[in-house]
Amino acid sequence: MQERLDALLTSARAELAVAADDAALEQWRVTHLGRRSELTGLLRSVGSLPREERREAGQAANAARRELEEALETRQTELRRGADGAQLDVTMPGYPVRLGSLHPLTRTLREIRRVLAPLGFRAVSGPEVEWDRYNFELLNIPADHPARDMWDTFHIDDKARPGELLLRTHTSPVQARVMEQIQPPVRVIVPGKVYRYEDRDASHEAEFMQVEGLAIDKHITMADLRGTLTYFVRAMFGPDRELRIRASYFPFTEPSAEAEMSCHACNGDGCPVCGGTGWIEILGSGMVHPKVLADVGYDPDVYQGFAFGMGVERIAMLKYGVTDIRSFYRNDLRFLRQLR
Amino acid sequence: MRVPFEWLCELTGIEASVDDVATRLTNAGFEVGAIHRAGEHWDRIVVGEVVRIDPHPNADRLNLPTVNTGSEEIQVVCGAWNFEAGDRIAFAPAGARLWDPYADEPVLKELKPTRIRGVVSRGMLCSTKELGISDDHEGILVLDSGAPLGRPLAEALGGEVLEFELKANRPDALSVLGIAREAAALYGTQVRSPIPDDRAGEHGPSQPVQLQIDDPALCARYSAALVHDVKVGESPAWMRDRLEQAGVRPITTIVDATNYVMLELGQPLHAFDWETVRGGFIGVRTARPGERLVTLDGQDRELTPETLCIVDAEGPVALAGVMGGLDTEVTDTTATVLLESATFDPVSIRRTAHRLNLRSEASRRFEKGLPPELTVLALRRCVQLIEEIGAGRGEILTADAYPEPSDPAPVALAFDRIERLMGVAYDRGEVRQALSSLEFGLDEVCDELRVTSPFWRRDVTAPADVVEEVARLVGYERIPDTLPTGQVMDLAPGEIDERDDEARDVMAGLGFAECVTYALTSEARMARLVPPDLLDAPPDSPLGDEDAWATVRESAMDGAGRALADRLLPLDREPLRLRNPLSMEENVLRLTGLGTMLETLRANRRHADRDLLLFDFQPSFLARDGDLPEEPNFLTAVIGERVSAGRWNETGTVELPFVRGVVDELLARSGLPADEASHDDLQHPTFASGASAAVAYRGRLLAAYGEVDAEVAEAFDLDERSWALLVDMPAVREASAGPPSFSAWSEYPSALRDLAIVVDAEVSQAEVNDAILRAGRPLLQSARLFDEYRGEQIPPGKRSLAYALSYAAPDRTLTDKQADRAHNRVVRALQHRLGAELRG
Ligand SMILES: [Zn+2]
């Protein structure tokens, strides 16, 4: 028995020394340690030996098995080092395994939607080419009203109906579209592209994204608006943000309010991000004008609610520290990958 | 609007700091965009007195004033002559810093002693331009005789000017008095109105002025006053200063007085030289056909019939509210002036001012709607000012036409409405206090307040308007944070499809970077999607005509190519054009995003990234007759190169099957199993023929992909091979089967068989695959192509395809024999139907 084991060990060690890759090692393992190997055969035969020899033979065979297993492990480790015995360099870069990326505006829009969803706001969309009626008239901005100066408008050249088709200047027309179709309660947000006839610079775009919010029911108040906005800026920019609102004017809200949040970059101490004031203008808002409600067929003595609107690029610029709004539309991969 | 702080304080008696006033007004809705401080950059510029003026020994056009600075006398050389000995002036001694009036950019320069024509000048008398307070460079600034000698100039001039960014709803706030009313309400002071009491009895009309308003809808009120013994000249310094601080250039006494009243009260006035007005008659009416007017700017204008004019007995003398006529302008020789103070229709003024591009301080105020009550008050104030500055002797009101006096009804506001809207309680005393401080008339009846607006607050017409007044006067700090409660809506119309998000995620997962591109593009950019030889017009010229598109329509397209050209890459549609584009580079709404995406690909190639996979998922705009355009969200992807995962330096070559792999995965993830859609050769000028395909499902085109035609690529300055993928996602959605459904697999082991065949090269893989699947039924579970080969061992015109086939039965383990039998059936079918030969 011991002789056979010794012979077996000798030949196995010799074969192992020349096994040069994982496949050879596996072959060796099957030959010498597998179910049909000689050693396994020997171990099985121990039971048929005379009782007094069994113990010694069993120990010897098991010792041989352990030795071979250890030899295999040692050889495996050897092979994993280079020829000179050096270890693999774990600081080598990984092979390029790269997901693509979502645009920072898409990511910001999704975050806004995610933040507002628990308050019951559903995201809806509407047309970007819009009738004057929805973009202006149903929002209490009649033709020739000086408030129209607040939105420089691109008009579509349409011979059949001159002056009626335009590129929407805000996402607010979707307010009217939604309210025309359903009865309160209404709680929607409207993300989407809007257009302004305006020269581009670092802080102005002719095309940009807005998100509009609208909540209408019997008892929705200005305090609910303020609470919603506070919740929003804290969810987006951190729990330490403070909100303040001040009186403003939009034709489709009354009262109207401009909202600012304490600067997330300096916590309100004043820094370049907030122009030294500690506060950052973040959105316009107000209680939906009774005329807007009446024009879509709601009874303004019964229903009331709030609306707010913000620029998505502005939110994204604040979140990611982008200083030029045009960067979002250049689609430079260096930009897109940084902000992925 | 610019409001000098000192003026505001004079009308309110407020003693707070300018910053405090700015903050409180801003919070109340009167946003202060900037606080300008005169003399912010001044340094050592003081009030000086000219002691004497000596002639310059060597130059007649120069003089040598000696200036007392309060501490010393300094002689300087000066080129201006508009001052006399005894005048107080702005004086800069050597060492002071001044704006350089000759520099293009504003720049401060230190003043040094200089020798001018042989005489040393140790300082300078300053003009307003050198001080940076106006562009007027003619003559030096002569101050009031009361200006404190030797004190810093900033102190003498007052200084701070509040610049308001005013909203469209408050015409009353376009005046110092209007801002003063707000400020006084916020600070609890009394407004000191500059409007004098009615003294009409003392200065009755001297002669009849006949007024006629044709349409009270276009001119609610017209009031006029005559001013006699007019002296046209320079206004006093205090008036000039205030005008300049408010951003209005001083001209001459009469014009300055009318501008001053406009700034102070918000009512624009116009002055006619009464002797040039024919027939003692002033009328207000729209222009008649053929009427013309030479306006103050010297332009001879033909008047359109909707233009509202002021006319005399013979014809137009002014464009109402927009610009006066040259013939009736007040000049140095004018002896009698007729002051006009009128209420014109905002819409009419706005249209005329826009049409003629003549928007002015006056027209801006008319556009917002002025109250008719203001006309006579403004006249009274103006006459008083003219007399005060010695520019004439006025009548308080010579004539007044107010055909249909209006009397707005009070607004009824239930007290509980305030809390209902604001979500916070306001006590009644507080409400009354806020409203009466803004001069609203109040009448309390039970739980209701009847609120009468002062005449200047015509914007307050409904309860919500009154609530806003209360809320902003008390301050928005009062409003607490609560969250909306109550029932949540279920489905909303136009709800955003979650699957749009999923499609973006799938593309990002496949390695593509999402781009957000402009919807506006140029026809030229879209025309570059067609090889230039197919176009009539060269690609760089904007294609204004339809011929270019027609050419494309006639070009070699059939079947899928034509379907593609109709919708997904709609080269034979007309784009929506802008009436007022910013430039010809973006004059139409895009029919396809492909042009923009190829440009994006090109731009990214410049910085040599080797992993160029981009996609865009934004709408295209397809016009529809009599309706809004369709705005389908087409997915557009472009591919330059990709890095294959495997080694550090391997760039994976992009071939058609890679793009197809992307299509298959996207369609599968959109609920359309890859084997349901058919892929066919695409003939379309944008794509390289033989290297592009169209994807259809039940005859409807869903997608197109392939290599971009080499000439098209070149037109986009792309010299390497580029690939594109267009997917009509709305069509995919309609075709998709909804959520995937589960089908059970065999629990018994599969028998695997490989199959390599040689077939004619014309036989498509789809045909082979189809034949295999049919013949293998019911035991064949799957057939996966793993190799294609053409070359030496294969006869010309043939190719070899190799498949791995898997057989299994649902209820038992297949024996080798059973599997062989099924496999042989497949082999025979291929031989029989497709003439295939078994290989190897
Ligand atoms: Zn800051």
**Residue range B779-787: mean pLDDT, rounded:** 93
Residue B205 domain-assigned (yes or no): no
Q: Which residue has the higher pLDDT, B116 or B825?
A: B825
Q: Give residue-wise pLDDT tens across range B204-236.
A: 667 778 999 999 999 999 999 999 999 999 999
Q: Cα dist. A79→A312, B200, B262 in Å?
A: 56, 114, 94
Are both B648 and B768 inside the same structural domain?
no
Are both B669 and B571 inside the same structural domain?
yes
Cβ A332 vs Cβ B513: under 8 Å: no
Give the other-Cβ count within 10 Å of B448's Cβ.
14
Task: Kindly state the tokens that stand for A14.
Answer: 């010799």
Q: How high is the pLDDT of residue B645?
A: 58
Sheet containing B441-445, strands listed edge to edge, beginning at the edge strand earlier in sequence:
B411-414, B448-452, B441-445
CA–CA separation, B573 vs B592, rounded Å?
A: 11
For B12, the 3-state DSSP assignment is helix
Are both B281 and B338 inside the same structural domain?
yes
Burial B563-579 (b: 16+ CB within 10 A, else e): bbbbbbbbbbbebbebe
Cβ B488 vs Cβ A185: under 8 Å: yes
Q: How high is the pLDDT of residue B144?
A: 78
Distance from CA of A130 to the nearest CA of B (A): 7
Distance from CA of B346 to the nearest CA of A (A): 8
CA–CA separation, B722 vs B840, rounded Å?
A: 37
CA–CA separation, B13 vs B191, rounded Å?
A: 8
Residue B503 domain-assigned (yes or no): yes
CA–CA separation, B459 vs B439, rounded Å?
A: 14
For A334, the 3-state DSSP assignment is helix
ipTM value for the complex = 0.83
Residue B395 domain-assigned (yes or no): yes
Residue B742 domain-assigned (yes or no): no
Are both B50 and B34 inside the same structural domain?
no
Cβ contacts of A1-8, under 8 Å, gap ≥ 24: A1/A42, A1/A49, A1/A53, A1/A57, A1/A60, A1/A61, A2/A60, A4/A38, A4/A42, A5/A39, A5/A42, A5/A60, A5/A61, A5/A64, A8/A32, A8/A38, A8/A39, A8/A42, A8/A64
Percent pLDDT > 90 in chain B is 61
Note the helical H segments in B411-497: 415-422, 428-437, 463-474
For B522, the 3-state DSSP assignment is coil
Q: Where are any strands of DSSP class E within B2-72?
A: 2-4, 31-37, 46-55, 63-68
What is the CATH classification number for the domain harbouring B20? Answer: 3.30.56.10
Residue B545 confidence class, pLDDT cut points 50, 70, 90: very low
CA–CA separation, B107 vs B122, rounded Å?
A: 21
Q: Which of A243-257, B324-338, B357-371, B394-408 has the lowest mean pLDDT?
A: B394-408
Q: Cα dist. B645→B472, B586, B659, B724 in Å?
A: 62, 39, 17, 22
**Residue range B758-767: mean pLDDT, rounded:** 92
pLDDT of B339 higher than 90: yes
End-of-domain residue from the set B735, B767, B795: B735
What is the CATH classification number for the domain harbouring B308? Answer: 3.50.40.10
Q: How high is the pLDDT of residue B757?
A: 94
- For CA atoms B541, B545, B548, B549, give the dihedral sign: positive
Residue B204 domain-assigned (yes or no): no
Give the other-Cβ count within 10 Å of B751's Cβ.
21
Residue A121 confidence class, pLDDT cut points 50, 70, 90: very high
Cα A264 to ligand 1 centroid, rounded to whole Å = 6
**Residue range A30-51: mean pLDDT, rounded:** 83
CA–CA separation, A250 vs B169, rounded Å?
A: 9
Q: How high is the pLDDT of residue A215?
A: 97
**DSSP, residue by residue, B546-607:** SHHHHHHHHSS--HHHHHHHHTTS-TTSPPPBBSS-S-GGG-EE-S-SHHHHHHHHHHHHTT
End-of-domain residue from the set B360, B378, B401: B401
Q: How high is the pLDDT of residue B595?
A: 94
What are the residues facing B736 on neighbouring strands?
A: none
Any idea how long chain A is? 340
Burial A9-30 (b: 16+ CB within 10 A, else e): beebeeebeebeeeeebeebbe
pLDDT of B478 higher than 50: yes
Ligand 1 is an ion; residues with CB less than 5 A from it? A 263, 265-266, 271, 273-274
Cβ B129 vs Cβ B99: under 8 Å: yes
pLDDT averaged over chain A?
91
Are both B562 and B518 inside the same structural domain?
yes
Contacting residues of A for B421, CB less than 8 Å apart: 221-222, 287, 304
Are both B303 and B362 inside the same structural domain?
yes
Are both B664 and B652 inside the same structural domain?
yes
Residue B543 confidence class, pLDDT cut points 50, 70, 90: very low
pLDDT of B172 higher than 80: yes
What total number of domains does chain B contain? 6
The shortest CB-CB distance from A220 to any of B364, B484, B631 is to: B484
**Residue range B677-682: mean pLDDT, rounded:** 90
Task: Kindly state the tokens that stand for B262.
Answer: 């406009």
pLDDT of B615 higher than 90: yes
Interface contact B472, partner A, CB < 8 A: yes
Interface contact B631, partner A, CB < 8 A: yes
Which residues contact residue A202 at a Cβ distance below 8 angstroms, ignoring those fewer than 6 apart?
A323, A324, A325, A326
Q: Give residue-wise pLDDT tens across range B500-511.
A: 999 999 999 999
- In this prediction the pTM is 0.83
Are both B321 and B424 inside the same structural domain?
no
Interface contact B649, partner A, CB < 8 A: no
Q: How high is the pLDDT of residue B439?
A: 95
Interface contact B468, partner A, CB < 8 A: yes
Cα A273 to ligand 1 centroid, rounded to whole Å = 5
Place of tokens 């929003």: A232
**Residue range B423-434: mean pLDDT, rounded:** 95
Name the percent of chain A in helix, strand, coil, to the closest 5: 45, 20, 35
Give the single-character DSSP code of A155: B
Angle, helices A104-116 vs A312-320, to 10°: value is: 100
Cα A275 to ligand 1 centroid, rounded to whole Å = 7
The shortest CB-CB distance from B368 to any of A100, A146, A181 is to: A146
Task: Kindly state the tokens that stand for B366.
Answer: 């008319």
Q: What is the largest CA-CA distance in chain B?
A: 129
The shortest CB-CB distance from A103 to any of B468, B509, B516 is to: B516
Q: Which residue has the higher pLDDT, B774 or B537?
A: B774
For B343, the 3-state DSSP assignment is strand
- A160–B626 C-beta distance less than 8 A: yes
What is the CATH classification number for the domain harbouring B612? Answer: 3.30.930.10
Give the other-Cβ count within 10 Å of B606's Cβ.
9
End-of-domain residue from the set B401, B421, B446: B401
Residue B197 domain-assigned (yes or no): no
Q: Cα dist. B637→B399, B705, B719, B726 in Å?
A: 73, 9, 18, 6
Contacting residues of B for A308, CB less than 8 Å apart: none
Are both B34 and B71 inside the same structural domain?
no
Dihedral in degrees, nearest 10, Cα atoms B693, B696, B700, B706: -20
pLDDT averaged over chain B?
88
- A120–B484 C-beta distance less than 8 A: yes
Angle, helices B463-474 vs B415-422, to 10°: value is: 70
Residue B194 domain-assigned (yes or no): no
Task: Kindly state the tokens that stand for A259.
Answer: 């909202």
Q: Do you find a cis peptide bond into B575, omega within 30 degrees of 0? A: no
Are both B555 and B598 inside the same structural domain?
yes
pLDDT of B649 higher than 70: no
Q: How high is the pLDDT of residue A111?
A: 96
Q: Give residue-wise pLDDT tens across range B238-280.
A: 999 899 889 899 999 999 999 999 999 999 999 999 999 999 8
Q: How high is the pLDDT of residue B526?
A: 84
Q: Give residue-wise pLDDT tens across range A90-100.
A: 888 887 777 89
What pairing do the DSSP bridges indicate for beta strands B613-619 and B513-515?
Answer: parallel
Q: Which of residues 369-428 of B touch A (CB under 8 A)?
A: 420-424
Q: Where are any strands of DSSP class E within chain A?
A: 122-123, 129-131, 165-167, 186-195, 207-217, 243-250, 253-262, 279-288, 304-311
Residue B741 domain-assigned (yes or no): no
Are both B89 and B173 inside the same structural domain?
no
Range of the domain at B539: 498-735
CA–CA separation, A45 vs A37, rounded Å?
A: 12
The residue type found at B1 is: M
Q: Cα dist. B708→B18, B31, B239, B523, B595 in Å?
A: 65, 54, 71, 19, 11
Residue among A111, A129, A244 with most chain B CBs within 10 A, to mutate: A129
Interface contact B502, partner A, CB < 8 A: no
Residue B544 confidence class, pLDDT cut points 50, 70, 90: very low
Helix (H) or strand (E) holding B353: helix B346-356
Percent pLDDT > 90 in chain A is 63
Are both B692 and B705 inside the same structural domain?
yes
Q: Cα dist. B194→A269, A287, B334, B786, B795 in Å?
A: 42, 37, 27, 94, 106
Q: How high is the pLDDT of residue B101?
A: 64
